[in-house]
Each structure stands twice: as C-alpha cells, then as structure tokens.
Amino acid sequence: MRAHLMYRENDAKAKASPTGLTLKSDLELGRLLEAMADGDKAIYAACEDALLRPLQSLEAIKYRHDTLADAMKNRDAVRRMYIITAQLDNIQTYYMSPSRMAEAFQMSVELLRIYTKFLKDLREVADRRMQDFSSEAFKNLFEMLRRELSDEYFAEVASFTDELKNLDNLLISARLGSNLQSVDYTLRRKEKGFWLRWKLTPAITINVEKDPEAVSDLIMRRDRATSEATSILKQAAKYLEDFFNMLRGELAFYVGCINLTERMQEYGLPVCMPEPQPHDSWDRIWTGLYDVSLALTKESAVVGNDLAASDTRLYIITGANQGGKSTFLRSMGQAQLMMQCGMPVGAERFKAPLRRALFTHFKKEEDNYMKSGRLDEELKRLSVIADHLEPGAMVLFNESLTSTNEREGSEICYQITQALIESDIEVFSVTHLYAFAIRYLGAEKTRFLLAERREDSERTFKILPGEPLKTAYGEDLYNQIFVRGMAALAD
C-alpha cells in the first residue's frame, strides 16, 4: 500500500539539492524547520528533505498545493492520522530483537495485532472524514484504506492472532524420515472438528518437573514447527511497519506546514500560496515578502518588501550597511525553496518561475578551519557551484568576492556574473563592489535595488528600486557604535 500524498503514482521523486547543507546554513533554514517540527524529529526530517528536493513541474506543485489545502482545511483529521502512525516509535522501542524463537514468534504475533489496531484507527478516520476531503491525494488514500481494510479483513486477522497468541496450545505435525528422524515439522490450524480428533488421538503427557530433557526436546520441536510461521509473521509485521513509516513521513510534511502557518499567523504575518510559473519565465512579483527565519527568531512581525519585475536576469542589491540586504536575499531564497516544495510562502503574494536548482554563495568570516585565504575559499565554493550549474538555475550572491581589493573583486565578480546570465541563470547579488555594480548601469534585463536609508541615517529595512551609491554609509555605524557609545560612557 502506498499513500502518494507527496507525489502522484509513478511520479519520480525530485532530486536532492547538491549543496543542501550550504543552503540550510546560508538561508537559516534550521529555525524554519524547528518551527515546522515543533519538537518532532520525524517532522523535522521530512520537511528538511522536502525543502531540499525542489519540484520541477507545475503539475507536481499543484498536486501538492491541493493536498496541502485539504490538510489545512482538515487539520484535526490530518494530525490524528499522524499521531496514529507516530505510535510506531513506542512499539519499536519496546519490542527489541528477541534472542529465542519462541520470543520471536510471540513478538511477531503481538506486533501484527498492534499494527492491525493502528490500521483500524486509520480506517475509522477514513470512514468518518472522507467526505470532508476533496484533493486527489487524500481521496485516493481514503479509498485505498477502505478498499484494502474491510471488516472481513480485520475479523480474519483477529481470528488468526487469537489462535496463535497462546504458545502453549499449538498444534504441530511431523513425519518420519530416513533413520527414523522427524522431518517436515508443520504448524497446523485448529479447524472445525479439531477437538474431536484430538480427544481420539493417543496422547503422551510430560511431567515438567520430572522430565526436563523431554520438555527441552518438545520446545525444540515446537520451535522447528513455528520457524516458518515466525518468518512469515515477521515479514507481515515489517510490511506494515514500512507502510506506517512511509505514511508518517508524508503526513509529517503537511503537519509541518500547518504548524508553520499557525506560528506565522500568531505573529500577525501574512502567509500565501505561491504562484509558480514555467522555467522559461523571467517575471517575478513579490508583495510583503519577509525573512521567515528572522520573524521566528524575533517572534514578531518583520518588514516585508514589494516589487514587480519582468524579463529580468540580474538583480543587483546595494545600499547602506545593516539596511536589510542580506535579510532580503534570505527571504528570496527561502521563498523559492518553499514554493518549489509545495509549501506556503512568507508573503502576501509571491509569483515566480521555477528554477532547476538554487545555489547560495554568502560571505564567510575567516576561521581556524580555513586551510587558505578567504579569496581561495570563496573561489573553491564557487567551483563547487559551477560543477552543478545548468541553464534555468538561480544563484544568490551575498557580498561575494570582497576578500580582495575593490578593483580585483569587481572584475572577478563581473566576469562570473556575466557568464551566469549569458547561460540563462538568474542572479541576485548583494554587493558593496561599486565598480562592479555600475558596469551594469543601462544594461538590459537588469534591476537595481537599494536598501533604504533616511536622511537622519535611520534604516527602514525596505529594499526599493534604486541605483548603486558609492558609499555604504559605514560612518553611520561608526557613529552609532563608537561616538554614541563613548558619549554614553562619558555620561
């Protein structure tokens, strides 16, 4: 049985991002995933896997959007199903690998009984709530549960496990082989007429206390007779265990989306379903776009940004230090990944094209783990990105190539950026390299954005259309940190 909540039947699973760990670090996805998981490791893992496996077709995203809309509308039912599957953790912890055949037999029977109870709980949810769901994914799941898990099925399994649960009341058979050895040990069912035949069959009663060797011999024969049944029972239990793990992993993604949406709504922040566009589109519209991880860190509303851009390959973002440029870049990367895994996005509106892959190259502070200078490290990370680039990808640069002087950094940055946009790769570049930025003044398919700074040096954290400036207003930070700080100490 397959749930198909994340992908349609026969759809290939999306490929994992080749630089997933870098994306997680640069875009601060850890905080977002923690909010989605709400302390549940399985939800964290499922949502991380989904975020770093961007879907590549509009149909696949719509399928997941429809499923998510159903989940949001029926949150209690989805969470109930997830709780049912999550009970597996307690069962797996309690039933450790047994050391004896008899223990393995009893464990397998008990697991089958417990898992059947979980299946019955799922079927009850399907019976009660199927009419409330409209998406293809959930309807197919409920229909499958009702079709495969009939009342007759549960009655048969209950009868079977009841018959097997008493290990001291089993019926086995064997026949004589060569050299008068017992062979072909078989576990028998107690069908109609069994008790009458049992009473008419010659019997031997063993005294447990006086004949322990005979007891040991009988246990050995019982184990031989139950070994094949134990193997089959273990396979059945493993099959059901795999089904619950699969269903839990798929439900976990939707529960995570519900958790995140509720958290954002608590902070009074907008959440929208994005509008994905084909890969060959170069148009973007974002309204109220914000950094979800920053909002989760502050536990309050944060500034959002707006823009409508068409036929744009390159976005160059400049402006005052501490003005919100890196925050905006993270919000764009987060939104792109969230859109392409079928999640809601932190914005009032987000319309964007699909991208073959997303890569980030953020400035790193020099540390003890670096084996060479910062420029070498930057170029090595760029080389890793280049190994995986393809037309239709998207790259986010955050103050890249600032580890050398202005002239060299601007020239390297220009050559790399030009090669990317000529290869139909979309680029967002936050930079303080003025010589690099002004080379694109008047260039086609380029948009300039500027971190807003008011006359009194106040940062609004708004990113607005605007051409690059020669200064990043570092003097503002000097005045704020040193001049005002020294004045405060003097007072």
**Model pLDDT, residue 199:** 63
Mean pLDDT of the region 380-384: 93
- Write out pLDDT tens, residues 35-45: 999 999 999 99
- The domains of the chain are located at 1-16+53-266, 275-490
**Model pLDDT, residue 156:** 86
Task: Report how far residue 31's alpha carbon sits from residue 202's, in angstroms, rounded to the nearest whole number.
Answer: 72
- Write out pLDDT tens, residues 473-490: 555 544 555 545 555 555
User: Looking at per-residue confidence, does 149 or 209 come out higher?
Assistant: 149
Task: Report how far residue 25's alpha carbon sits from residue 43's, in angstroms, rounded to the nearest whole number.
Answer: 19
Task: Report how far residue 268's alpha carbon sits from residue 290's, in angstroms, rounded to the nearest whole number.
Answer: 12
Contact 430, 399 (CB under 8 A): yes
- Write out pLDDT tens, residues 306-337: 999 999 999 999 998 888 999 999 999 999 99
CATH 3.40.50.300 fits 275-490, yes or no: yes
**Model pLDDT, residue 158:** 86
pLDDT at position 408 over 60: yes
Mean pLDDT of the region 195-221: 71
Burial class (CB in 10 A: 0-12, 13-18, 19+), 298: exposed
pLDDT at position 193 over 70: no
Mean pLDDT of the region 412-428: 96
Task: Report how far residue 56's alpha carbon sits from residue 354's, in angstroms, rounded to the nearest whole number.
Answer: 7
Mean pLDDT of the region 356-366: 87
Give SS3 for 449: strand
- Write out pLDDT tens, residues 428-473: 999 999 999 999 999 999 999 999 887 777 778 899 999 998 765 5
Give me the chain's average pLDDT, please.
87
pLDDT at position 191 over 90: no
Q: Which 8-state DSSP code applies to residue 345?
A: B
Task: Report how far residue 445's alpha carbon sits from residue 449's, in angstroms, rounded to the nearest whole number.
Answer: 13
Cβ density class 100-115: b for 16+ within 10 Å, e for less: ebeebbbbbbbbbbbb
Q: Which amino acid is residue 258, in one-letter code?
A: I
- Write out pLDDT tens, residues 248-304: 999 999 999 999 999 999 999 999 999 999 999 999 999 999 999 999 999 999 999
Lowest mean pLDDT among 199-208, 250-259, 396-405: 199-208
Contact 44, 37 (CB under 8 A): yes
Extended beta strands in 213-304, E state: 275-277, 284-289
Task: Report how far residue 437's alpha carbon sits from residue 417's, in angstroms, rounded to the nearest whole number.
Answer: 11
- Write out pLDDT tens, residues 65-116: 999 999 999 999 999 999 999 988 877 555 555 556 667 777 888 888 889 9
DSSP states along 133-192: --SHHHHHHHHHHHHHS-HHHHHHHHHHHHHHS-GGG-EEEEEE-GGG-EEEEEEE---T
**Model pLDDT, residue 482:** 54
Task: Report how far residue 451's alpha carbon sits from residue 209's, in angstroms, rounded to the nearest whole number.
Answer: 89
DSSP bridge partners of 119: none
